[in-house]
């Protein structure tokens, strides 16, 4: 179960993680009773990331502008989800933005500390700078300090950021959480730290003993944090030709931004959801991927489909096999994947968009290599463009879309 930002920050406050002065807004007229000083940020409270890029966060200087902004945000869907409440928060000027997280890595069954000096909305573009420390034994301050040193911090920042990480881990352990994330952790010019945004995911199996979360269960009915739902494609540009299929709000929004920056026009996108959600498994991700491919392929305006997946649940070949299965179903191919030969590929009888695929999965054993070669051969024969880098994925997608636009 995911918490909304204001709920996550209420947890932060209980362990001494600093947060900006804030106030819940349940209707626009509540703005008149604000007790926090202007300027403020008005933030849509939804279970989906990428709010800032889609107009879900507004900065305002006075009450009149704040009421107008609140009315607009309440009526603004973020990936199909409307907010039931807003968070009004004092605007905080920072010189640096860090990323911090404590996450349960299901593949190794251990907590992992994550940290980067490149936080904020563009954190996905700086994954190469993300540092991690596996908590292999009982937690101690040593793990937090080790993370800050790997991040390249020095002086007073080591102690200050380590303290935040320790408090995050305390929440993680005592509240049975799957994820505690601060993005960004703002650093002011005088070295003060403050959690400008936060995300918390509670382990569903722990809800019976974590009674403090009982009152929040009724609020957790959105697609993004319900592991049994894939959601519906969201329309962006009716004149576009590109469909985008990703997993995770951050990756989805980053991919959309890069496609648009390269001159592409996404007509629709679908986010399969983050694997940090409670209840998400390898088999469920496969199911979501299969459903997502079918949903986007049924949109007639989608001429080019970019599949961009980054996951620690599945190796590349298993994700590719789901894509191959989708093509087989649409081309009436009866054989199992082990029997497929590129020279026996049956001509498509149902329209399939030109597909560009970038898959970044977990490492797999050497014995899977044979199956991976068979799957890749099948995808190549089906004219699926498989790329390794995100830059190539964007370039190939936009190039293929331009062919259709001519």
- pLDDT, tens digit, 9 for 90 and up, residues 1-30: 788 999 999 999 999 999 999 999 999 999
Query: Could you give the residue range(s) of every CATH 3.40.50.261 domain in the chain?
Result: 234-405
- State which fold the 96-219 domain adopts: D-amino Acid Aminotransferase; Chain A, domain 1 (3.30.470)
Q: Which residue has the higher pLDDT, 165 or 50?
A: 165
- Residues with Cβ < 8 Å from 239, sequence gap 6 or more? 265, 267
Confidence band, pLDDT 50/70/90 cuts, at residue 335? very low
Reported as type and span, the H/E element at residue 149 is helix 141-150
For CA atoms 123, 128, 129, 134, the dihedral sign is: positive
- Whether 337 shows a pLDDT value over 60: the answer reads no
Q: Mean pLDDT in the chain?
A: 83
Percent of the chain predicted with pLDDT > 90: 49
Exposure b/e, 160-169, CB count within 10 A at least 16 = b:
bbbbbbbbbb
Q: Which of 67-71, 77-81, 176-180, 237-241 tops mean pLDDT?
A: 67-71
What is the CA angle 41-237-221, rounded to 5? 55
CATH 3.40.50.261 fits 234-405, yes or no: yes
* Calpha distance 378→342 (Å, rounded): 6
Query: Could you give the residue range(s) of every CATH 3.30.1490.20 domain in the chain?
Result: 21-90
Beta-strand pair 242-246/22-25: unpaired
* Calpha distance 375→335 (Å, rounded): 13
- Model confidence over 230-254: pLDDT tens digits? 566 777 788 899 999 998 877 888 8
Q: What is the pLDDT of residue 19?
A: 95
- Whether 127 shows a pLDDT value over 90: the answer reads no
- Whether 381 shows a pLDDT value over 50: the answer reads yes
Q: Which residue has the higher pLDDT, 209 or 186?
A: 186
Q: Mean per-residue pLDDT for 140-145?
A: 95
* Calpha distance 161→27 (Å, rounded): 36
- Model confidence over 339-361: pLDDT tens digits? 334 443 433 345 689 999 999 88
Has this prediction a pTM greater than 0.75? no
- Residues with Cβ < 8 Å from 342, sequence gap 6 or more? 377, 378, 380, 381
- Model confidence over 147-169: pLDDT tens digits? 999 999 999 999 999 999 999 99
Q: What is the pLDDT of residue 111?
A: 93
Query: Could you give the residue range(s) of every CATH 3.30.470.20 domain in the chain?
Result: 96-219
- Model confidence over 177-196: pLDDT tens digits? 989 999 999 998 888 999 99
Q: Which CATH superfamily is domain 21-90 in?
A: ATP-grasp fold, A domain (3.30.1490.20)
For CA atoms 49, 1, 275, 242, the dihedral sign is: negative
Q: Mean per-residue pLDDT for 193-220?
A: 73
Confidence band, pLDDT 50/70/90 cuts, at residue 225? very low
Q: Mean per-residue pLDDT for 204-214?
A: 69
The tokens describing 150, both together, are 């790997």
The long-range contacts involving 363-369, CB below 8 angstroms and separated by at least 24 positions, are 363/315, 364/315, 364/316, 364/317, 364/318, 368/315, 368/317
């Amino acid at each position: 179960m995911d918490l909304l930002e204001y709920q996550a920050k209420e947890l932060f406050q209980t362990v001494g993680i600093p947060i900006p002065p804030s106030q819940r807004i349940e209707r626009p007229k509540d703005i008149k009773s604000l007790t926090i000083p202007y300027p403020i940020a008005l933030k849509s409270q939804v279970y989906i990331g990428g709010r800032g890029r889609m107009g879900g966060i507004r900065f305002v200087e006075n009450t009149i502008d704040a009421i107008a902004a609140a009315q607009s945000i309440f009526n603004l869907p973020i990936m199909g989800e409307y907010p039931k409440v807003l968070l009004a928060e004092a605007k905080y000027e920072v010189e640096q933005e860090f990323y911090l997280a404590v996450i349960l890595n299901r593949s190794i069954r251990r907590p992992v500390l994550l940290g980067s000096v490149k936080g904020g909305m563009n954190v996905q573009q700086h994954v190469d700078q993300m540092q991690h420390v596996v908590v292999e034994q009982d937690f101690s301050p040593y793990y937090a300090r080790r993370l800050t040193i790997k991040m390249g911090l020095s002086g007073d920042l080591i102690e200050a950021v380590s303290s935040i990480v320790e408090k995050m881990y305390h929440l993680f352990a005592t509240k049975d959480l799957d994820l505690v994330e601060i993005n960004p952790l703002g650093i002011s010019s005088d070295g003060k730290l403050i959690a400008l945004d936060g995300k918390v995911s509670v382990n569903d199996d722990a809800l019976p003993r974590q009674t403090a979360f009982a009152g929040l269960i009724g609020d957790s009915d959105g697609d993004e944090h319900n592991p049994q739902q894939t959601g519906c494609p969201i329309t962006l540009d009716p004149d576009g030709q590109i469909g985008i299929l990703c997993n995770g709000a951050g990756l989805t929004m980053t991919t959309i931004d890069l496609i648009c920056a390269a001159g592409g026009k996404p007509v629709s996108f679908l986010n399969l959801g983050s694997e940090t959600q409670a209840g998400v498994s390898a088999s469920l991700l496969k199911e979501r991927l299969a459903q997502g491919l079918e949903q986007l392929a049924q949109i007639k305006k989608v001429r080019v489909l970019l599949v961009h997946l980054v996951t620690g649940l599945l190796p590349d070949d298993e994700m590719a096999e789901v894509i191959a299965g989708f093509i087989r179903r649409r081309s009436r191919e009866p054989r199992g994947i082990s029997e497929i030969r590129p020279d026996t590929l049956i001509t498509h009888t149902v329209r399939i968009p030109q597909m560009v695929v970038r898959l970044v999965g977990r490492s797999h054993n050497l014995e899977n290599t044979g199956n991976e070669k068979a799957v890749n051969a099948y995808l190549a024969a089906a004219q699926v463009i498989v790329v390794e880098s995100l830059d190539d994925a964007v370039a190939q997608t936009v190039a293929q879309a331009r062919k259709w636009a001519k």
